[in-house]
Structure formats: structure tokens, C-alpha cells
A and B are shown apart, each in its own frame.
Chain A
Amino acid sequence: MKFTISWLKEHLDTKIQDNSIIEKLTDIGLEVESFENLNSDLDNFKVAKIINAEQHPNADRLRVCDVDIGQENNVKVVCGAPNAKKDLLTVYAGPGSIIPKNNMKLSISKIRGVTSYGMLCSESELNLSDESEGITELKTAKYSNKVGENFFKNKNEKVVDLSITPNRPDCLGVRGIARDLAAAGAGKLKNISNSNIKKNGSQKIKVSISKEKNQGCTVFGSCLITGVSNKESPKWLKEKIISLGQKPISAIVDITNYIMLDLNRPLHAYDADKIDREIIVRNSKKGETFEALDNKEYKLDDNMCVISDKSGVLGLGGVIGGTRSGTEINTKNILLESAYFIPRSIRKTSKILNIDTDAKFRFERGIDPQSIELGLSKAAELISEICGGKISNFDVQKADEYEKNKIKFNVSLFEKITGFKVDDNEIVKILTDLGFEVSKNKLELDLKIPTWRPDITQPIDIVEEIVRIKGYNNIETLEPEKNKIKDTLNKQQKLFHFLQRSVASKGYFETVTWSFTDSKINNFFKESLKEIKIVNPISSDLDVLRNSIFTNLTFYLKKNLDRGFKDISLFEIGPIFKNSKPGEQLTVIGAIKSGKVSRLNWNEKERPVDVFDVKKDVIQTLVEAGYDRKSFFIRDKSPSYYHPGKAGSVYLDKDDIEPVAYFGDIHPNIIKKLDIKTEGLVGFEIYLDHLKENKIKLKDQKPNFEYSDYQKSERDFAFIVDKNFKAQDLIEIISSIDQNLIRSIKIFDIYEGENIPDGKKSIAINVIIQSSEKTLEETDLEKINKLIISTVETKTGAKIRS
């Protein structure tokens, strides 16, 4: 909402400084977006006189003019206007000026070989009118002694731009703003002068509001003004319209706009001669069409509030008028409409048709239903003043009687909510200044709500009115109480934070990427999950919710590789989506690692990253989080986006149904399709929702500290097994032979090749044997040795390597 300070002062009697007004606006909840001198850019536009106009040497249609701009030397301007003649008074824009119409910035330029210092402007270029045929012609009588002066005179005019919250339609008019300021002590609200228009005869065009369900119009006021001569608006009106960044059109249109900006009372003017017999306000029928003032043809649905005549739809009530009955410069008789439309109906219609107009914006927030006659008389007065004409009596059709809302307000609620007290009398004054009718009734106030405040419906709204006018700075700052109702984090949240930092501590950079992604990449990783499309994506390559963290990680990994990085470790912890209902999401860590380990290292051999790098990271992370490595079970199954032979899944327990993590090489086909160029690409995923709560908690007492000081013995074995035989099984078999004696099992070599039969491999293990009761003798050791060999051989078909 824009307005000028001088316009505000037409409603507000005040002596306070502009800056105090601005502060006050902010203090009462009317947020100031900007406060600046009006159009300082417009200072570049000068009244000028063409001293001489010659034919351009290289262009038939151009003239080279010597222009007097009130300075010592004339300037040369190349001009294409047919009316650029010697002695013409016009408007000159110097280099650096910004042309209001198209925001083009002027510079000194050569036009067909002749340098032009600025430009002579048409009215259209200055947003004064649509006249674009020639340059502006100024009247000699008025401007002959003003050459060199600024053409736009609003130099000291200051424009305020407010961001009005949707609950305050009343402040979409300058008067509403003035009223709020007055209540806050910034001055006195001036009375609206009584109009002394002469009304003659009845309004001859019959108006009716049809009685039907969902009728969107409750009041339709109108008057007829006959014998007008529409014209350009006078300068004061044009300047008012321009000062708010709008474009003057014609006196009649400008006047209706002016009333709307001044009082937030939208009006509509019809060319009365184009109305077919009568006005019927009714619901539209599906399929009806009309051409609106935005020159678009709209096809209507059922139950939209239309203003129609005998021939059909004239316009959408409160949204947009139609071209068929629009006023033009030669309009003689006008019908002026001032109506009330129900916000819900306006919103629905404009949403369906996707129309956004000033009127719609106001009606959907709620217009004062009792401003109908005020609007008509203010507008009629101005129209007859500027365009002449006779004004008919007002015709006001009502489909519904309007009653003021009432609220009983218990003053104690104010202190209960705000924590401070305001004197009852002051409360009454504030509310009265805001337009409430207040009567005191013991502890309660009986309030009648001003009709321009549709937002006020219950006592809490009254609290807000008082506290915002009184000032939020009166609210005390109370020390926060430290009492706790619940633990700060629950188990799952603690796990989240722990794992996040655990993964990061292994050299991964945490990233945060969109929850949505490119469906083309997502397809590589979505497995059997449902694709969740966004109906209105921000761009076509962010069209689905991600089914996997890898989608974005691989995308951004590639970007970083393209930046010249090679060895990259990235992870993200966040949601992936299984389906489109609330809660159908999982929290997942996705991590990815590219390139080489020990690249260009002076003392270690470099190698590409591999599956055991990520296996280490994933297992270590889980162990750090408190899960028992001994009960983990690894399977070689993994989602299809991993390498089929170099990936696996981690189960917390052999019997678990769902894995808690996957790890492995990313499938080479995907790497190829995504055009990722790196020596190695591995990754892992941890599903937080699948991680059960630890049985052993940190707060629990630890088990007794038991240890053995008896001598340890180490024995090495090498078994020849099938190539597909899993090391995990070997360890499991041996460790279950005698858990009291076998303390640890370590695989120290895997060998295939010479001396090993085809299809077989050798696994070499080191076993530590120790008793907690005695020092083992050679015979004991021999016994356990034999048991290990025989058990492994019988259970697996392995052969000890001699």
C-alpha cells in the first residue's frame, strides 16, 4: 500500500515530523517497506524548448534538434517525432534519466552518425497518457518562462510503502491508516467533509440481486450520472495517481481509483448506454463467457457472482469489469457501482479463473459494507466537478441486512495475555479512537465493532488492538523459567545427532540438499518405492520427492568432480520418502566416497576407494553408537544401485528381518549413465528407523570387570575352502567351538592361485586361546587345535592346508 505524506495529511491533522510518523506506523503494526522521496529520478526531466530542428543527414524520418534546457549551451537531440518543430515547448530527459514507461536508462548515443544528448519525451513515455504519436506539447502560456525547470513538481513529496497484513483491509485506504495513527496519538483524524451534491430523479436502470444460494453479493448501490464529458484527469488527480506508481487513464477511471485508494472503497463505472435494459446480479452458469478489461476472454463456472444485463455477463462482481460496458473517453452517461461482495466468493472465483486485480485483493479481505453510499457520493461529486453531468438519486439493493458485530470484553483479559495493566479509561479511549462503540458495563465493555474491521471477531482481537496501539515496548521482559517437562532429546533424536557427528568424524563433509530431486536421477535409486511427483515443481528437474539420499549426493558429487576435486567424501542425514502421506518417510544417512586413498602420497601406496573402506566406516559408526559388533551379520544382498558383487547389507542380528545399513561400490552402469569420472565410487546408507534401541544403555551399571592373567597362546591355521565360502561363516563356526577358550579370531590372509585348486581359496586365520582358570598345557592346546580343524572340516568341507 503506497501513499504520500501529503495525502495522509488530508485525513490526519498532525504536526509531528515525517520520521515520527514512520516510526509510529511501525509501532502499531503497519510495517514500512520503504519511505523515500518521490521519483527523485524524475528530476532529470526538464521543461525544454526546441530552438532549431533540422533534417537528419542520414535518415529521412529523424530530425536533429537544438534544445534549450535552460543552460548556457543548447543540447543536440536526435528525435523521430513528426511534431518536433522549432519553438515547441516540450519535455527533455537528459542522459542518465530513466524513462517511466519502460524503465530504460538513457545514455549519450550516436543515432545514424549523429550524437544525441538525451531525448524528447512523448506523454506515453512519461506515463502521462497513451499518446505516443509525437513528443509532449506544453502550452506556451504556462511553460514559456519555465524552460530548464523540473517538469515534475513533486520534489518534496515523500512516498510511504506499507506492507499491509491480510487482516487489515481498512488500511488499504489512506483514511484507515490515518485513523490508526490518530488512535496511536500521532494526530487527529479529520472529519470527512459532507458532500453537497445535488441529486435529481431516480436511477433509471433497474438493479436486482437475484435470490439464490451462494449469492456472492449482498449490497449493490448505484447511481446514474448523465451528460458527462469524460476527459483527461486534471493535473492534481493525475499526480496523485502517478505518485502511487499507477497510470492515469481517464477522469472517470482515475476518480474511481482515487476513491479506492483514499477510502478503500472499490467502485466500478459502466457506460450506461451499453447496458441492455437492466442490471441483474446473479450466479453464473457453467460455460458463460465474457471479455474482461484485461482483454482476456473468460469462461465461467457455475456459481460465480456476475453483474449481467439482458444480453449476458457484463463483469465479475468485485473482481473485474468487462469490455462490453467499459467507459471510454466519449462515454456520455455512466452507471456507478458501489457494492459489497462476500470475501469467500471473491476468493473462490479469482482462484479458479486465476485473476488478480486491485478490487479482488480488497474485496477478498473485506470491504466496509457501510461505505457504499459514501463511495458513491464522493465519486459522483468529483465526476460532476470534472466531467459535468447530472447525478441521479442513489439506488441501494440489499440481499442481506448488515449488523454490527458485538463483543463483550472483560478488561482483565488484557493483563492476563500481555502481562501488564492499562487503565480502563485509556482502554476505552483507544478503542473509541479506533472506531469502536464502547459502553462500560461493570467489569466488562460492550463493544460494537467498526464495520471496516472484519478481522475483529473475539475478545483476543481486542487485546491485540489495545496492546499494539499502547505499544509493545510496554510488555515486560520476564526471566525464562528453567523447569523442564521432558528430556530435551528422545532416543531417536540422540541417535540422529550421534550418528551425524560419528560419520563426519570419519572424514565426510556433511551436506544438506533439497528433499526433492530430478526424477531422471531418482529412477536409478528408487528401487520399488513409489515415485512422488510434485504438482507444481520449482523447475522440471526438481520434480519428485527423493526416494534415496544418493540421488542428490551423486548429482552434487559430479559437480564437485567437475570442479577438479577427486577424492571426495560427502554425506547427508535426512528424510527419504516412501509414499505421499504424512509420516511415510524414513530418516537415512547416505554417504558417498570417490577417488583414491593416499593419492600422491610419499610413504603410502595409493589405491582406489573400495567396499572395505565404506564397510569400515559403517561398522565403526554403528559400534560407536553402542551396537555390538559380535552380533552383526553381513549379507551379500544389496539394492540394485550397488555393484552386484561388491556390496552388502548389515543386520544388527542374524535373525533380524531388515538390514540397518547397506554399503558397497556404486553400480558401474549408474556411474556411466551419470557420466561420473572417478577411479572409484563407494557409498553406504544407514536407516535410522531400523536401528533398534540398544539393550545395554550407557546409564546402566557395567558388567563385572573380569580378566585372565593366564598365558595366552596363538595358533595359525589355513583352510582351503570353496571360492564362494564366506569368511563370516568360518569365524562363526570357530568362535562357537569353545567360547571360554577362544578369545579372538583374526583373518590375516586370503589367497587364491598357485598351489590352490581352481574354484578354491585359502583363508589364513590366527586364533588366540586363553583360559580364565589355568595356564593351558601343550595337551590342552593340541586338543583345541584338533577340535578347530575337525569342526571346520566337517561343517564346511574345508581342508586344512598342510
Chain B
Amino acid sequence: MSDIKKIKDEFLNKLDSDLNIEILNQIKTELFGKNGKISNSFKSLGSLPNDERKKFASDLNSIKEELQEKINSKLQEIEIKEINSKLENEKVDVTLPEREFNRGKIHPVSQVIDEISSIFSEIGFSVEEGPDIENEHYNFTALNTPDNHPARDMHDTFYLDNNKELLLRTHTSPVQVRTMLNGKPPFKIIAPGRTYRSDSDQTHSPMFHQVEGLHIDKDINMGHLKGCLNYFIKSFFEVDKIKMRFRPSHFPFTEPSAEVDIGYELKNGKIVIGEGDKWLEILGCGMVHPNVLKNVKVNPDKYQGYAFGIGIDRLGMLKYGINDLRAFFETDYRWLNHFGFDPLDVPSNYRGLSR
């Protein structure tokens, strides 16, 4: 017994010292190898008298376990030490730049169109579209603007043929005509899209964007029009209060017609929407003219409603502080990067228009 106790003490002592893996393996062999001290002790079991054998065997086993455990923990200790010493040589400069990533951008016009669609979706409008090339009938005549009407001069039109039959639409209103001709009332639509006028200076560009709105049902009146636009403007500019002014105006396709101004003030050279004593015209609207309804086979005695047209680019300029309309269409990489939106910023009803 004292022999194995001696072995135990001796080796536990050895194992407590600072060891490397080779010495540890050597110790293992010394103990448990073929002629190892513990192995040999087991071999001597057979020569012991019966009464001693049992006790010896049990002591030996517990010593064996204790040593093995010690060796295992020592082994782990050494391995961890080795990994740690290896890691010290693996240090990188994490301040070096990450691998390249390319962030794309959504054009402000597209973002604004998505914002508009999201807002009108909330109050039940669906989105319609129409062709960029229109004929004279859909763009003018059906909209109560016959050829001899001076209101045609309000639009500088691009023509595609000498008879002035085919043209680039000067507004999104022809979508009203197409929608109503192709369906039955009620109608509750918006129609965003490209529009064209042969006009080009600081504040006009030959192509721009409009969103048309149309709501026709049995009892839609000017109060609904006002409510709808008030809701839209407030939601769009993400303000609680908005100063809004309806002014009588004239469009051949609406009667009565109105232009809508919103209040603003100038702060540090930027337009701030909502309060203030200055007025900014932002859209035209009115009750759809009975002649237009007749032209699209809707009975004006049964149905009535409103239409509006808003300049999308201008809305974007106001909301996002963009000064130059022409820059929208000039594809300056720096401008796109500056005013563009992250593609993951999708305006929606539930998460709101902006972050």
C-alpha cells in the first residue's frame, strides 16, 4: 500500500510542476505504459492474499483515477496554453478597412412616388398607369380642352407627328380618361408618372413627374377633396399641422377648380413647410367636369367626384431640400449619392415613410 501511495504522491507532485506535452506523455507512459508503475501494480494483484487483494485493488483504482484526471486536466491546460501562445502571433490590425461593399441608391423621385403610393394606399386609393405617348384626344379633347381652346396654350406640347395627333402627354390626366373608359364607377385611383412639356429653364424641365388623383362615387364633394389633400400633405411632410389654402382657379377638366398653397417659412435659406406666412403653390385640383364624365361614359347626374394633379419632383424638392429641378435628371454620381435613398428604406404604411 505504501508503495502505491508513494507513487501517487511522487507523480502528483511531478504533475504540479510546469510541464510540456512531451514530459506529460512520458509521465503517462511511466505510469500506464506496458511496464508502467500503475500497470505493474495491477499485475501484482494476483500474488496478494485474498483478504488484502480487495482493498489493494480498490485503492489502486482510486489512485489510478486520480492520476488520470490530473493528467487530463494537465493536458488541457497545456493545449490551451499552446493555443494562447499561438494566438499572440495571429493578431491582425482590425483597424484596416473592411472588405469592400457597394451601397446602391434609390432616386428621390422613386422614393417620393413610393411615399405617395403608401399614403394614398392607406386611404383606399390604388395605383394606375398610362402610356407616355398619348394621342391628342386623351390628352386634351376628352379632358374638355378642344383644339380651339386657349387653355391648350398653357401646355407646351411635344408632338410626334405633323398633324399633332400623337404627342408626349403633358400631364397625367389622360390616365383618368383611360381608367374611367376601361371600368365602372366608383373610381379611386392615383396615377404617378412621367410628363413632358417643351419648356426648359431653371425651374422647368422638359420632363417632370406628376401624380394624378381621381375619386368618383355617388356623393363625393369638395369637402372630401379638401380632406383628402389635407391628409396627404400632412402625411407626406410628416408634420402634425399644415397651413393650407384653397384658391379658385381654372382647369378645363375640373369645375369648380382650385389651386392649393401651403404655408412655409424660410429658415437658414431652406424652406420649412407647415408654419410661416409665405404661400407656396403645390397642386391643382377640382371637381371633375361633367363634360369629362360624359366623354368617358360616366353619368354626371349619378356620379361626381374630384381630381387633382401634383408635381412629384417639386414635392421631393420641398421635403428633402433640393434646390435645382434640373439636377434630378442630370445623373451626377455625387448628386445621386447625396440625395438618393437606401434601397432598404421602403416607405410603407406600417413602418412609416422614413426612418
Contact = CB atoms under 8 A, between A and B. Distances in A.
A536 B167 CA distance: 10
B188 A500 contact: no
Given A347-B150, A505-B104, A489 B126 contact: yes
Interface stretch (A476-484, A728-736, A779-787): A476-484
Contact of B248 (A29, A477, A515, A598): A29
B226 to A, nearest CB: 5
B111 to A, nearest CB: 9
B336 A480 contact: no
A417 B231 CA distance: 20
Interface stretch (B11-19, B26-34, B75-83, B94-102): B94-102
A348 interface: yes
Given A477-B226, A568-B333, A601-B100, A505 B133 contact: no
Nearest to B291: A458
Given A480-B228, A505-B343, A570-B331, A581 B247 contact: no
B223 A475 contact: yes
A348 B149 CA distance: 10
B132 A486 contact: no
B104 A166 contact: no
A513 B328 CA distance: 8
A305 B250 CA distance: 29
29 contacts: A27-B248, A166-B150, A166-B250, A168-B250, A347-B148, A417-B304, A419-B223, A468-B248, A477-B227, A478-B224, A479-B227, A479-B231, A482-B124, A488-B117, A489-B117, A497-B114, A509-B104, A509-B105, A509-B336, A534-B168, A538-B199, A545-B133, A560-B331, A560-B333, A565-B333, A570-B331, A580-B160, A582-B131, A582-B133
A485 B150 CA distance: 37
Given A29-B247, A507-B102, A585 B226 contact: no
A515 B131 contact: no
B221 A537 contact: no
Interface residues of A, number: 96
B149 to A, nearest CB: 7
Contacts of B154: 166
B200 interface: yes
Contact of A460 (B150, B153, B255, B334): B255
A581 B133 CA distance: 7
Interface in B257-315: 257-259, 287, 289-290, 304
Given A31-B247, A473-B246, A585-B133, A364 B222 contact: no
A534 B158 contact: yes
A481 B123 CA distance: 6
Pick the most buried of B103, B131, B222, B344: most chain A CB atoms within 10 A of its CB: B222
Interface in A413-435: 416-420
A464 B248 contact: yes
A478 B223 contact: yes
B226 A475 contact: yes
Pick the most buried of B134, B226, B304, B328: most chain A CB atoms within 10 A of its CB: B226
B10 interface: no
Nearest to A508: B104
Nearest to B221: A419
Contacts of B158: 516, 534-538
Interface in B143-183: 148-151, 153-154, 158-162, 166, 168
Contacts of B114: 497
A511 B336 contact: yes
B123 A480 contact: yes
Interface in A371-396: none
Contacts of B333: 509, 560, 563, 565, 568, 570
A417 B256 contact: yes
A485 to B, nearest CB: 5
Contact of B336 (A476, A484, A510, A580): A510
A532 B133 CA distance: 11
B280 to A, nearest CB: 13
Contacts of A542: 206
B240 to A, nearest CB: 15
B64 interface: no
B317 interface: no
A603 interface: yes
B322 interface: no
B151 A515 contact: no
A interface, by DSSP: helix, strand, loop or mixed? loop
Contacts, number: 256
Given A480-B123, A538-B206, A506 B148 contact: no
Contacts of B52: none
A199 interface: no
A148 interface: no
B298 to A, nearest CB: 14
Smallest CB-CB A-B distances: 7 pairs: A507-B102, A29-B248, A419-B223, A165-B250, A556-B331, A464-B256, A468-B248
B51 interface: no
A512 B221 contact: no
Interface string A551-570: 01000100110010100111
Interface in A522-542: 532-538, 542
A461 B250 contact: no
Interface residues of B, number: 90
Contacts of B103: 507
B117 A513 contact: no
B150 A365 contact: yes
A472 B247 contact: yes
A749 to B, nearest CB: 24
A3 to B, nearest CB: 19
B236 interface: no
Contacts of A503: 104
Nearest to B250: A165
B165 to A, nearest CB: 10
Given A343-B150, A582-B138, 11 more contacts: A365-B150, A416-B221, A420-B223, A461-B255, A472-B246, A480-B227, A505-B104, A515-B132, A535-B162, A560-B332, A563-B332
Interface in A487-522: 487-490, 493, 497, 500-516
Contact of A165 (B131, B249, B330, B332): B249
Contacts of B336: 509-511, 570
A167 interface: yes
A475 B131 contact: no
A489 B191 CA distance: 11
A26 B247 contact: yes
A553 B249 CA distance: 40
Contacts of A500: 106, 110, 343
Contact of A29 (B126, B153, B223, B250): B250
Contact of A603 (B99, B222, B257, B330): B99
B42 interface: no
Contacts of B246: 472-473, 475
B127 A488 contact: yes
Contacts of B110: 500, 510, 512
A80 interface: no
A258 B193 CA distance: 46
A460 B289 contact: yes
A504 B186 contact: no
Contacts of A475: 222-223, 226, 246
A583 B100 contact: no
Nearest to A484: B124
B331 A559 contact: yes
B329 interface: yes
Nearest to B166: A580
B135 interface: yes
B67 interface: no
A559 B335 CA distance: 13
A519 to B, nearest CB: 14
Contact of A166 (B109, B151, B230, B256): B151
A602 to B, nearest CB: 6
A440 interface: no
A486 B214 CA distance: 14
B124 A481 contact: yes
B304 A482 contact: no
